[in-house]
Amino acid sequence: MPISHPLLALLAAAAVIGAPLAQARDDGRYANSPLKGWFESLRSKAGGPCCADADGTALDDVDWDTSDGHYRVRLMGEWIDVPNDAVITEPNRVGRTMVWPYYVNGRALIRCFMPGSMI
Residue 92 maps to a domain = yes
Residue 33 maps to a domain = yes
pLDDT, tens only, 32-67: 778 878 888 888 887 778 876 567 889 999 999 998
* Cα 56 from Cα 42, distance rounded (Å): 11
Residue 119 maps to a domain = no
Residue 83 maps to a domain = yes
pTM of the model: 0.67
Residue 52 maps to a domain = yes
Q: Let me know: does 111 contact 50? Beta carbons within 8 Å.
A: yes
* Cα 99 from Cα 8, distance rounded (Å): 23
Asked whether the predicted pLDDT for residue 78 surpasses 70, the reply is: yes
Residue 1 maps to a domain = no
Number of folded domains in the chain?
A: 1
Residue 36 maps to a domain = yes
Domain that holds residue 109: 6-114
* Cα 95 from Cα 98, distance rounded (Å): 9
Q: Residue 49's beta-bridge partner residues? A: 43
